[in-house]
Each structure stands twice: as structure tokens, then as C-alpha cells.
Amino acid sequence: MDWNDRYSRHYKLSGFGAAGQTKLQQSSVLVVGAGGLGCPALQYLAAAGAGKIGIIDDGCIELSNLQRQVLFGTGEIGLSKAEVAATKLRLLNPEIEIQEYAVYLSTENAVELVEGYDVVLDCTDNFNTRYLLSDLCMLLDKPLVFGAIYQYEGQLAVFNVGGETTTYRHLFPLPPSPLDALNCNEVGVLGVLPGIIGAMQATEAIKLLTGIGQPLSNKLMTINLLDNRTMLLDIPKNLLEEINFPTSLQAFEAFDYDYHCGIRETSVQGISPEEFMEVCRKGDVLVVDVRNADELPKLPFEHVQIPFHELSDNLRKIDGKHVIVVCQSGKRSQIAGQFLLEKFGTDAFISHLEGGVLNLEKYNNG
């Protein structure tokens, strides 16, 4: 092996050495999601010398990302996350292969994208993609390093490794209601948290690829940054018999993960921020904010605030002929609008604000 000063600290590391570095350089890692978790994971994997790194993300960089996605800069707002990440990782380490995929991961392309990599990192922020990745990695027998964040708390686990292997479905057998599946767009997140969890995901990947240490297989680690308390829990090794999930690649490609996770098509009409402001200026409209009372920013005009989970008990407060439902990002308002549509029928015209209050703010700020 030729000495490479880039990895000199690995060569000198007891238990790792040249053999570990060689294994790492001959390995491949797929990182799904180039956001808060993916950015630090990608940076450390590239710097460490993972031979091939794949990046899947169909999103573009937004100003609100920069509080935690430190791979990106202000001048790159609007550009593809996958493409910008790949460019910067090639500058960080031009000796490795970087392959970017600026696509949405689905059952139509997932098998082709995942099967060529040794280890997969789940750095996503939605349940349908988490279940999709877990099921596929189980079917392809791929180690999956899972990470998740919520406000001040992070989670980390390794699936499909060891004797009696566990999957994401062993940890969370059934998807939560879409209303309970809030991400950092709705509830916020401390900026350093995904940096910590993402770096730990990279660590678990390196352990798996080089054979050092003890991976978090069949265990869930949680950390709360407010009090630095950590917990290590065993993941149950038995699956509920009534769980519906694909058990073959053919079944996987036919499986509807949106429907499985409660994401249904709705008939409630969405309106743009421009249309919303015009309707509000004309008056004779009831704006219903279904966010929780502590969510920011506050609406600067007259409205009724009814948190979604209290909506069914407060229908008497909704007496307008034209009702516009709003929330933080447009997810809860769409579901709430459908609920009201089914309750009121033709007695009221129900619509919801597309993209929510965050989209409205972008529009108002030009």
C-alpha cells in the first residue's frame, strides 16, 4: 500500500491502520437525503476516504436550510442539494468517486439506485421514505444506518446487521398519522443536533465497512441535547403479524408507501399565497389556523385559531361561507380542509393555503 498523507491519522490509529483504510477505500456508501443529517455524514465519509459515495436528494437549497445544513452557502440558494454537495465533496477529496442522483426516491427507481452500494444511510425526514428504505434494504440484505431528529432529541440505529436482524418496522411497526408526523419545518430543530446525529451515522457506516468496534445493530440510541441524557434500548426482534409490508422485490415495486403512511389524495382546493392575499383583501372569508398556539410566525390578520387535534370539537366556530385553512407548511391544512369538506359538504367553500405560512412569508418578502 502506498502511503497517503491524507489518511495518515487513520494509518496510525490502533485497530484501524492501513488495513482499515484499504477496506474503507474499497467500499461504497449511499446517503439518502442531503439535508441536516446528510450534510455532516457526507462530509465525514468523504474526508475519511470511503471509495464511492452516492447522494440521493431531489430538493433545492433554501435559506431556512442554512441554520443546520452547513455544507451549503447563501450564494447557493435555489441550486440542487445533490449537485452542490457532490461538487463540494469532490473538492474535499478528489481521490474518491462521488455519484449524485437529483431524483425523488420511489419504488420505481429505488432497487436500481440502492443495490450497487455496500451500506445505506437513511438521512431522510419523512416516514414513507423511511419505510421504503427499510423494506428494500431488508429485501436486498443491505445494512441500513438510520438517523432521525426532533427539536432537541436525536435517534440512531443500525438495521439488517448481525444474527437476528431488525428493521425500522421492528422499531416502529406502524406509520403514525400524517398529523403526528411533523418535521422540523413545523416544530423546529436545534441546528447542531443533525450535525451530531449525522456524524454518528457516518461513524456507524465506517464501523460496518472496516469491521472496527461494535455497531448499533438491533439497538436504538437516543440523545437529548437539553440535558445530555442518552439511552440505549434493545429493539424488539418480533414483528406484529398484522403488519402489511412487501416480502419480495416484485411486491415492493407495487407497494404504495404514500397510502401506507396515510397520505391520501384530497379534493380540497389549494390556493397560492397571491390568491390568498387577494381573497383576504376582499373580505367575507374565514381563515382557520390549525397550528398549535406556540407556532411562529403569527398571522398578522384576523383569523380563528383551532389546533388540528381540537378541530372536531370546535366546528361551531367555523361559520363562514368561504373557509381557508392554513398551517405551517400546507400539510396539516390540506388534511384539515378535507375533514371540513366532508363535514360541511356544499354548505361552505373550503380551501387551504398551499405551502402554508412559510410559503406566504416567502411571497410577502418578495
Instruction: Provide the annotated active-site residues.
Output: 184, 327
**In which residue are the cell numbers 477496506 written?**
23
Separation CA 184–CA 192 (nearest Å): 13
* Number of residues assigned to the chain: 366
Separation CA 264–CA 177 (nearest Å): 11
Helices (H), 149-226: 168-171, 184-187, 192-210
Per-position b or e across 273-309, b if 16+ CB within 10 A of its CB: beebeebbeeeebbbbbbbbeebeeeeeeebebbbbe
**Contact present, 107 and 131 (Cβ < 8 Å):** no
**In which residue are the cell numbers 398556539 written?**
293
Q: Assign 230 to helix, strand or coil.
A: strand
Does residue 297 have a cis bond before it (omega within 30 degrees)?
yes
Strand order, beta sheet including 52-56: 97-101, 52-56, 28-32, 119-122, 144-150, 153-159, 219-224, 229-234
